[in-house]
Amino acid sequence: MHVPYNERRAQLEQLFTDRGLNALWMLCPETTDVATVQEWLTSWTQVRCPASKVW
């Protein structure tokens, strides 16, 4: 890709806003803050897939 990541990310965020995407659609948050990442890794609920949809 010839477009920097931060520009692609901004376009994707705008798409979610413009289209009102929610519920089944989720844009994962991002950060460069180590403390925030550590909190995410220890506190987010683990999502489980049904047995029929194991990847």
Q: DSSP characters for 16-47?
A: HHHHT--TT--PPP----HHHHHHHHHHSPPP
Q: How far is CA 43 from CA 29, 31, 51, in A?
A: 14, 16, 24
**In the block, residue with structure tokens 């798409």:** 15
pLDDT tens digits, 7-49: 999 999 999 999 988 778 888 888 999 999 888 888 876 665 5
Residue 27: how many other CB atoms lie within 10 Å: 13
Global pTM reads 0.57
Cα(12)–Cα(31) distance, rounded to whole angstroms?
16
